Amino acid sequence: MTPVAPNGGELSLALLAMGLPLLSFFLVFFVTRPRVTLSCAVSLVCSGLPLLAAIWLLAGHWRMEAPILWELTWMRGGGVAVTFGFLLDPLSLLMLCIVTGVSFLVQVYSLGYMAGDPGKAKYYAFLSLFAWSMISLVLASGLMQLYIFWELVGLSSYLLIGFWHHKFSASQAGKKAFVMTRLGDLGFFLGIIVLLLNLGDLSILGLNQQAATRLTPGLLTASALLIFCGVVGKSAQFPLLTWLPDAMEGPTPVSALLHSATMVAAGVYLVSRLFPFFQGSPQALGWVLVIGTVTMLLSSTMAMVASDIKQVWAYSTVSQLGFMFMGLGAGGYFAGVYHLTTHAAFKALLFLCSGVFIHHYATNDFFVMARSGARSLKVPMLSLTVAGAALSGVWPLAGFFSKETVLSALAELPNPAWLWLGLLGAGLTAYYTFRLLFVMWRPRRTQPPAGHAEHGEGGHHGAAVYWVMAAPLLVLAVLTALLGAAGPALESFLAWGRPLPPGAHHGWLVAASVVVVAAGAGLAWLEFGRAGAAQQGFLSRIPGLWNLFANRWYLDWLYRWLLDHVVYGLFSRLFTLNDRRVVDGGIDGFCRATLGAGWLLSLLQSGLLQYNLFTMVLVMALVGLYFLLV
Partner 1 sequence: MNSLHTYLFIALVLFCIGLFGLLKRRSLIGMLISVELMLNAVGLNFMAFNRFLAPDPAVGQVAVLFIMGIAAAEAAIALSLILALFRKIRSINVEQARQLKG
Partner 2 sequence: MNPGFPYLSAILLAPALGLLVILLLPHDNRRAVRWVSLISAGVCLILSIYIYAAYDRAAAGLQFVERASWVPSLGIFYYLAVDGINLPMVLLTSIVFFTGVWTMWDLQHRVKEFFALMLLMVVGVYGVFLSLDLFFLFVWYDVSLFPMYPLIAIWGSTRKEYGALKLTLYLLAGSALVLPGILYVYFQSGLFTFDLVQIAQAGLPVEAQYLGFFLFLFGFGVLAGLWPFHTWSPVGHVAAPTAVSMIHAGVLMKLGAYGVLRVGMFLCPQGLADWSPLFALLATVGIVYGAFVGLAQTDLKYVIGYSSVSHMGLVSLGLATMSVGGISGAVFQMFAHGVMTALFFSSVGHIYDRTHTKLIPDLGGMAKVMPRASFFFILAALAGIGVPCLASFWAELLVFIAGYQAYPLLGVCAVLGLVISALFMLRVVQKTFYGEKNERFAAAPDMTPAMALPRALLAGTILLFGLLPRLALDLIDTGVAPLVGMFK
Partner 3 sequence: MAGDLMLFLPEAACLLMALTLFGLSLPKHQDQRRVHSWAMGLSLLMVAAGLAGLFQEGHLFFEAYRVDLFSQFFKLLLAVALLLVLGICRQLTGVEERYQPEFFLFLTTCTLGMMLMVSAVELMTLYVALELSSFSLYILVPLRSGDNIDVEAGVKYLFIGITASCLMLFGMSYIFGAVHSTYLARIADTLPLWIHQPGAVIGLLLTLSGFFFKLAAFPFHFWAPDVYQGAANQVTTYIATASKAAAVALLIRLTALSAGTSLYLLDVLMVLCVASMTLGNLAAMVQSDLKRMLAYSSVAHAGYALMGVLTMTRLGYSSAMFYTLAYMVMNFAAFMVVVKVASQGQDLKISDLAGLHRRAPLLALTLMLALFSLAGIPPTVGFTGKFLVFAAAMRDGHFWLVLVGMINATLSLYYYLMVIKAAYLTEPAEPQESLAITGPTRALNYALIAAMVALGLFPRQVLELTEKAVRNIF
* Nearest to 398, CA basis, from 491, 479, 328: 479
Question: Rounded CA gap, 422 and 290, in Å?
Answer: 11
Smallest distance, partner 3 to C-beta of residue 584, A = 18
Question: Rounded CA gap, 107 and 469, in Å?
Answer: 10
Q: Which does 614 bind (CB under 5 to 8 A by kind): partner 3, partner 1, partner 2, none?
A: partner 1
SS3 449: coil
Smallest distance, partner 1 to C-beta of residue 590, A = 24
Out of 617, 619, 622, 625, the residue judged to bind partner 1 by CB under 8 A: 617
Q: Which does 190 bind (CB under 5 to 8 A by kind): partner 3, partner 2, partner 1, none?
A: partner 2
Q: DSSP code of 359? A: H
Smallest distance, partner 2 to C-beta of residue 312, A = 28
Smallest distance, partner 2 to C-beta of residue 186, A = 6
Is residue 626 part of the contact set for partner 3 (CB under 8 A)? yes
Is residue 219 part of the contact set for partner 2 (CB under 8 A)? no
Question: Rounded CA gap, 132 and 8, in Å?
Answer: 21
Out of 453, 595, 609, 629, the residue judged to bind partner 1 by CB under 8 A: 609
Closer of 75 and 482 to partner 2 (Cβ): 75
* Nearest to 522, CA basis, from 580, 455, 435: 435
Is residue 606 part of the contact set for partner 1 (CB under 8 A)? yes
Is residue 600 part of the contact set for partner 1 (CB under 8 A)? no
* Nearest to 464, CA basis, from 59, 78, 89, 115: 115
Distance of CA 152 to the CA centre of its chain: 12
Question: Rounded CA gap, 523 and 527, in Å?
Answer: 6
Smallest distance, partner 2 to C-beta of residue 147, A = 8
Instruction: Give the DSSP H/E element, type plus range, for residue 71.
Output: strand 68-77
Q: Read out DSSP for 251-263?
A: -HHHHHHHHHTSH
Sign for the pseudo-dihedral over CA of 400, 235, 248, 520: positive
Question: Rounded CA gap, 221 and 239, in Å?
Answer: 20
Identity of the amino acid at 105 = L
Is residue 593 part of the contact set for partner 3 (CB under 8 A)? no
Are 109 and 352 within 8 A, CB to CB? yes
Out of 31, 515, 587, 619, the residue judged to bind partner 3 by CB under 8 A: 619
Total of chain residues touching partner 2, rule CB under 8 A: 44
Out of 464, 583, 618, 625, the residue judged to bind partner 2 by CB under 8 A: 583
Smallest distance, partner 1 to C-beta of residue 589, A = 24
- 10 Å Cβ neighbour count for 294? 17
Smallest distance, partner 3 to C-beta of residue 236, A = 56
Closer of 499 and 607 to partner 3 (Cβ): 607
Is residue 30 part of the contact set for partner 3 (CB under 8 A)? no
Are 46 and 24 within 8 A, CB to CB? yes
Out of 453, 504, 531, 630, the residue judged to bind partner 3 by CB under 8 A: 630
Question: Rounded CA gap, 307 and 363, in Å?
Answer: 11
Are 289 and 418 within 8 A, CB to CB? yes
Out of 165, 442, 444, 460, the residue judged to bind partner 2 by CB under 8 A: 165
Smallest distance, partner 3 to C-beta of residue 607, A = 8
Closer of 526 and 613 to partner 1 (Cβ): 613
Is residue 602 part of the contact set for partner 3 (CB under 8 A)? yes
How would you label 100-127 residue by residue, b for 16+ Cβ within 10 Å and e otherwise?
bbbbbbbbbbbbbbbbebebbbbbbbbb
Closer of 213 and 602 to partner 3 (Cβ): 602
Q: Which does 597 bind (CB under 5 to 8 A by kind): partner 3, partner 2, partner 1, none?
A: partner 3
H-state helical runs in 525-608: 543-550, 555-561, 573-577, 585-604
Out of 462, 607, 628, 629, the residue judged to bind partner 1 by CB under 8 A: 607
Is residue 23 part of the contact set for partner 2 (CB under 8 A)? no
Please give the span between the terminal C-alpha atoms of the chain, in angstroms, as a whole number: 87
Greatest distance between any 2 Cα atoms in the chain: 118
Q: Which of residues 414-473 bind partner 2 (CB under 8 A)?
A: none
Is residue 571 part of the contact set for partner 2 (CB under 8 A)? yes
Closer of 463 and 608 to partner 1 (Cβ): 608
Closer of 143 and 344 to partner 2 (Cβ): 143
Q: Which does 587 bind (CB under 5 to 8 A by kind): partner 3, partner 2, partner 1, none?
A: partner 2
Out of 182, 214, 461, 506, the residue judged to bind partner 2 by CB under 8 A: 182
Closer of 534 and 609 to partner 3 (Cβ): 609
Q: Which does 620 bind (CB under 5 to 8 A by kind): partner 2, partner 1, partner 3, none?
A: partner 3
Total of chain residues touching partner 3, rule CB under 8 A: 25
Is residue 602 part of the contact set for partner 1 (CB under 8 A)? yes
Question: Rounded CA gap, 288 and 413, in Å?
Answer: 14
Identity of the amino acid at 87 = L
Is residue 186 part of the contact set for partner 2 (CB under 8 A)? yes
Left (φ > 0), alpha (ψ -120 to 50) or beta: where does 458 sit? left
Out of 463, 531, 534, 628, the residue judged to bind partner 3 by CB under 8 A: 628
Q: Which of residues 473-502 bind partner 1 (CB under 8 A)?
A: none
Angle at alpha carbon of residue 130, lines to 129 and 135, rounded to 5°: 100
- 10 Å Cβ neighbour count for 620? 10
Instruction: Give the CA dihedral 381, 386, 391, 396, nearest 10 degrees.
Output: 170
**Torsion angles phi and psi, residue 77, rounded to 5:** -165, 130
Instruction: Give the DSSP H/E element, type plus range, for residue 63.
Output: none
Residue 137: half-sphere exposure toward Cβ, Cα within 13 Å = 29
Out of 41, 190, 533, 548, the residue judged to bind partner 2 by CB under 8 A: 190
Determine the angle formed by the axes of helices 217-234 and 168-199, rounding to 10 degrees: 160
Out of 80, 417, 558, 597, the residue judged to bind partner 3 by CB under 8 A: 597
Out of 605, 622, 624, 625, the residue judged to bind partner 1 by CB under 8 A: 605
Q: Which does 626 bind (CB under 5 to 8 A by kind): partner 3, partner 2, partner 1, none?
A: partner 3
The residue ranges that bind partner 3 (CB under 8 A) are: 594-595, 597-599, 601-602, 604-605, 607, 609, 612-613, 615-620, 623-624, 626-628, 630
The residue ranges that bind partner 2 (CB under 8 A) are: 73-80, 82, 148-149, 151-152, 155, 158, 162, 165-166, 168, 171-172, 175, 178-179, 182-183, 186, 189-190, 193, 196-197, 567-568, 571-573, 575-576, 579, 583-584, 587, 591
